[in-house]
């Protein structure tokens, strides 16, 4: 089965899908090793890791695609949902983006309706007119036919245009053939229920990391509200940053490592030194 076929089969099961957010080979390998079948290649995590900066549309298609290839190489069996952002341009750019990820082995791709380039502020995400947003998703769905990659259609218009417009866009994306639907920044459970109902039985996706200006249900609450997929963009990123800060503080204090550091043998095992030696034996000249 292809990655998109496997993703469709997974989404057909009754279980709630927990999708860790990853950004490179190590995070993908760790997520797979922990037993997760899927992962979200998160634009916010890639921006943090590559730029040391915020998720404000500064990352390019090439950088995201390079990060996808790292993830795919380190965890080839993981079903990756790629963050395609706004498609990096107009409807034709969207098609190029969707086709590239489909050919490279992504199971699904997110395309959103915000305006690019964004205004020079971190506040708010004004969105495209509804008709233009429709054409972007129509273009994505058409391009997806080549590989079967699933299209996750996201609307960011709730904070700027209101819940009625956001729900209307979800209904429109369903009409255009989107496979998974995503309302960004719902204000409360009632808005979540409206968005899930608008998806008309197709899977709904949620960001469940705390801290954002949105309703953030627990996993059990999200499932009860009708969500099918939950991702956690800060689930690994925040602990990783905390661990690195702890390591630096330990060095500043004259220590060799932080108390939370992995033992050397465990770190080497995690990174695969033993696997390398086992596989290399077949190629050692006698």
Question: Which domains are present in the chain?
Answer: 3-236 (3.20.20.60), 241-283 (no CATH)
- The first and second tokens of residue 236, run together, are 């690994």
How confident is the model over 118-137, as pLDDT tens digits?
Answer: 887 777 788 999 999 999 99
Degrees (nearest 5) of the Cα angle 227, 233, 237? 150
Global confidence as pTM: 0.96
pLDDT in tens, 34-91: 999 999 999 999 999 999 999 999 999 999 999 999 999 999 999 999 999 999 999 9
Tell which residue, 140, 202, 131, 139, has the closest CA to residue 169.
131
- Structure confidence by residue, pLDDT tens digits, 191-211: 999 999 999 999 999 999 998
Burial 73-110 (b: 16+ CB within 10 A, else e): ebbeebbbbbbbbbbbeebebbbebbbbbbebbbbbbb
145, 120 contact by CB (below 8 A): no
- Interacting residues of 77 by C-beta distance below 8 A, sequence separation 6+: 32
DSSP state of 184: S
Whether 34 and 235 have beta carbons less than 8 Å apart is answered as no
Q: What is the band of 212 on the pLDDT scale with cuts at 50, 70, 90?
A: confident
Nearest Cα to 78, choosing from 133, 3, 167?
A: 3
- pLDDT tier at 266 (50, 70, 90 boundaries)? very high
Q: Give the whole-angstrom CA distance, residue 268 versus residue 274.
A: 8
Contacts of 122 (CB under 8 A, 6+ apart): 54, 56
Q: Are strands 150-155 and 180-183 parallel, antiparallel or unpaired?
A: parallel
Report the percent of the chain where pLDDT is more than 90.
94
For 155-203, the pLDDT digits (tens) are 999 999 999 999 999 999 999 999 999 999 999 999 999 999 999 999 9
Distance CA(2)–CA(7), nearest Å, equals 9
Cα within 13 Å of Cα(41), Cβ side: 31
DSSP three-state, residue 211: coil
Dihedral (C-alpha) 94, 57, 194, 8: value to the nearest 10 degrees? Answer: 50
């Amino acid at each position: 089965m292809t990655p998109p076929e496997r993703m469709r089969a997974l989404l057909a099961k009754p279980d709630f899908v927990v999708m860790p957010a990853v950004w490179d080979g190590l995070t993908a390998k760790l997520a797979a090793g922990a037993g997760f079948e899927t992962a979200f290649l998160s634009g916010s995590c890639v921006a943090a890791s590559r730029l040391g900066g915020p998720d404000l549309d500064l990352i390019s298609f090439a950088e995201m695609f390079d990060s996808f290839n790292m993830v795919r190489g380190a965890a080839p069996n993981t079903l990756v949902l790629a963050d395609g952002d706004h498609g990096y341009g107009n409807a034709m750019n969207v098609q190029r983006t969707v086709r590239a990820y489909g050919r490279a082995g992504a199971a699904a791709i997110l395309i959103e309706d915000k305006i690019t380039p964004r205004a020079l502020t971190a506040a708010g995400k004004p969105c495209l007119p509804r008709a233009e947003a429709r054409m972007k998703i129509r273009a994505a769905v058409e391009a997806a036919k080549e590989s079967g990659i699933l299209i996750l259609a996201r609307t960011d218009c709730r904070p700027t245009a209101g819940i009625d417009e956001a729900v209307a866009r979800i209904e429109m994306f369903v009409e255009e053939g989107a496979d998974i639907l995503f309302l960004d920044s719902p204000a409360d459970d009632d808005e979540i229920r409206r968005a899930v109902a608008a998806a008309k039985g197709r899977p709904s996706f949620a960001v469940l990391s705390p801290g954002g200006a949105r309703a953030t249900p627990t996993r059990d609450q999200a499932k009860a509200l009708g969500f099918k997929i939950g991702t956690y963009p800060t689930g690994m990123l925040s602990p990783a940053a905390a661990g690195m800060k702890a390591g630096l503080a330990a060095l500043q204090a004259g220590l060799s490592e932080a108390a939370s550091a992995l033992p050397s043998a465990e770190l080497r095992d995690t990174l695969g030194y033993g696997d390398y030696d086992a596989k290399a034996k077949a190629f050692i000249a006698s």
